[in-house]
Amino acid sequence: MARTLAIEAKDLSKTFHPRKPSKGIRQTLSDLVVPRYSDIQALRGIHMTIEYGRCVGLLGANGAGKSTLVKLMCGIQTPTSGTLSVLGERPNRRSHSFLRRLGVVFGHKSSLWWDLPVADSLDAYARIYRLDRAAYRSERAQLVECLNIGHVIDKPVRVLSLGERVKSELVASLIHRPTLVFLDEPTIGLDVAARYELREYLKQRTQSGHLTSIITSHDMNDIETCCQEVVLIDGGRVLHQGSITSLKKALGTGSSISIILPDRPFTSQDGDRLRQLHAPQSMRSITLTTSGALHIVAPDHDSQQRILADVYAFYPNSSIQVSDAPLEDAILQHFLSSETPERRSRP
**Rounded CA separation 165/124 (Å):** 17
Residue 347 binding target from ligand ADP, Mg ion, none, CB below 5 to 8 Å by type: ligand ADP
Mark the segment that binds Mg ion (CB under 5 A) among 67-75, 225-233, 241-249, 329-337: 67-75
Nearer to ligand ADP, 59 or 283 (CB): 59
Q: Which of residues 28-47 bind ligand ADP (CB under 6 A)?
A: 40, 42
List phi, psi (to 5°) of 181: -130, 135
187 part of the interface to Mg ion, by CB under 5 A = no
The residue count for binding ligand ADP (CB under 6 A) is 14
Nearer to ligand ADP, 66 or 167 (CB): 66
Q: How far is the CB of 145 from Mg ion (least distance, A)?
A: 31
Residues 6+ apart with CB under 8 A from 44: 13, 235, 236, 237
347 part of the interface to ligand ADP, by CB under 6 A = yes
Q: Which of residues 5-24 bind ligand ADP (CB under 6 A)?
A: 16, 18
60 part of the interface to ligand ADP, by CB under 6 A = yes
Interface residue with ligand ADP, options 66, 165, 167, 176 (CB under 6 A): 66
67 part of the interface to Mg ion, by CB under 5 A = yes
Nearer to ligand ADP, 18 or 280 (CB): 18
Mark the segment that binds Mg ion (CB under 5 A) among 60-68, 90-98, 154-162, 291-299: 60-68
- Furthest CA-CA distance within the chain: 79
346 part of the interface to ligand ADP, by CB under 6 A = yes
Nearer to ligand ADP, 43 or 131 (CB): 43
Q: How far is the CB of 58 from ligand ADP (least distance, A)?
A: 8
Residues 6+ apart with CB under 8 A from 53: 209, 210, 211, 212
- Residues near ligand ADP (CB under 6 A): 16, 18, 40, 42, 60, 62-68, 346-347
The residue ranges that bind Mg ion (CB under 5 A) are: 66-67
